[in-house]
Amino acid sequence: MPYPLLFDPAVTQEMLDRLEKIQPDTVPQWGKMNAPQMLAHLNVAYDITYGKVPIKYNAVMRFFLRKFVKAMVVGDKPYPRNGRTAPIFKVEDERDFAVEKEKLVTYIQRFQQDGAAAFEGQESPSFGKLTAQEWSNQFWKHMDHHLRQFGV
């Protein structure tokens, strides 16, 4: 079952509406991150995608990611609660809620505006070439997981 496409303006708006329900003091239902850290955590995926955080893996790590992690990240199943977090995605310092939220909203809107054609077959540093649906799944699943974590 494919997830909703974040390239669709209505789906993007739905995600942004959910995001609006998060406040700096919203308490998570599970996990260790506070709301500003969660927003910063979500921004990491976009930072990587848009080249703000360049990453390169050796051949062994690329094989491992593509063989064992890719299906979980871009596939049909939702993320489990309290799953393992890759080190690059860990946010343990305090963050500014407003700054992280504005950055995330900008990224979500940019992704939608760039459109499916811009992502079809685009290379992911972690998973190789992805379809536009896989790119959208990756972002939608991740955001949905953490918005549910915070009760929205």
Q: 3-state class of 69 per DSSP?
A: helix
What does each of the 152 residues of the chain score in pLDDT, given as a tens digit?
579 999 999 999 999 999 999 999 999 999 999 999 999 999 999 999 999 998 888 889 989 999 999 999 999 888 888 888 888 999 999 999 999 999 999 999 999 999 999 999 999 989 999 999 999 999 999 999 999 999 99
Please report the pLDDT score of residue 1 as a whole number.
55
User: Is residue 6 a contact partner of residue 119, using CB atoms and an 8 Å limit?
Assistant: no
pTM, full prediction: 0.93
Please report the pLDDT score of residue 57 as a whole number.
86
Name the nearest CA neighbour of 105 among 39, 7, 44, 150.
39
Q: 3-state class of 19 per DSSP?
A: helix
Please report the pLDDT score of residue 97 as a whole number.
98
Looking at residue 79, the DSSP 8-state letter turns out to be P
Let me know if 58 is exposed, middle or buried by CB neighbors in 10 A (0-12, 13-18, 19+).
exposed
Distance CA 120, CA 54 (A): 20
